[in-house]
C-alpha cells in the first residue's frame, strides 16, 4: 500500500488466489488483497492514473479490471 498509494497504516484482512492475465505478449500475475486503513488520503504513484471511492453495491456499476468484481466478491464473502 505504501508503494502504490502512499498509505502507511494499511492492515491486510484477506488475500485471494492469484489471477493470471496475458495481454500484449506479457503475463501479469495479480494477487488480490483486501486491506483496511483509517485514512482516506491517497497519493497515487506513476503506475496509476485515477481512483474513486465506491460502496460495494456501487462497484458493480463501474468498469473494472478483468476479474476484479468476482475477486472482490470472494474476498468479502463471510
pLDDT at 11: 93
pLDDT at 27: 95
How far is residue 38's CA from residue 43's CA, in Å, rounded to a whole number?
15
Q: Is the pLDDT of residue 70 over 80?
A: yes
pLDDT at 71: 87
pTM flag (> 0.85): no
Q: What is the 3-state secondary structure (H, E, C) of the chain?
A: CHHHHCCCCCEEEEECCCEEEEECCEEEEECCEEEECCCCCCCCCCCCCCCCCCCHHHHCCCCCCCCHHHHHHHHHCC
pLDDT, tens digit, 9 for 90 and up, residues 10-66: 999 999 888 888 889 999 898 888 889 999 888 998 988 888 888 888 988 988 877
pLDDT at 25: 94
Amino acid at each position: 500500500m505504501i508503494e502504490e498509494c502512499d498509505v502507511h497504516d494499511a492492515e491486510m484482512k484477506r488475500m485471494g488466489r492469484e489471477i493470471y492475465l496475458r495481454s500484449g505478449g506479457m503475463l501479469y500475475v495479480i494477487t488480490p488483497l483486501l486491506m483496511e486503513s483509517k485514512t482516506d488520503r491517497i497519493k497515487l504513484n506513476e503506475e496509476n492514473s485515477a481512483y474513486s471511492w465506491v460502496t460495494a453495491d456501487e462497484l458493480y456499476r463501474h468498469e473494472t479490471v478483468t476479474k476484479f468484481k468476482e475477486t472482490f466478491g470472494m474476498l468479502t464473502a463471510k
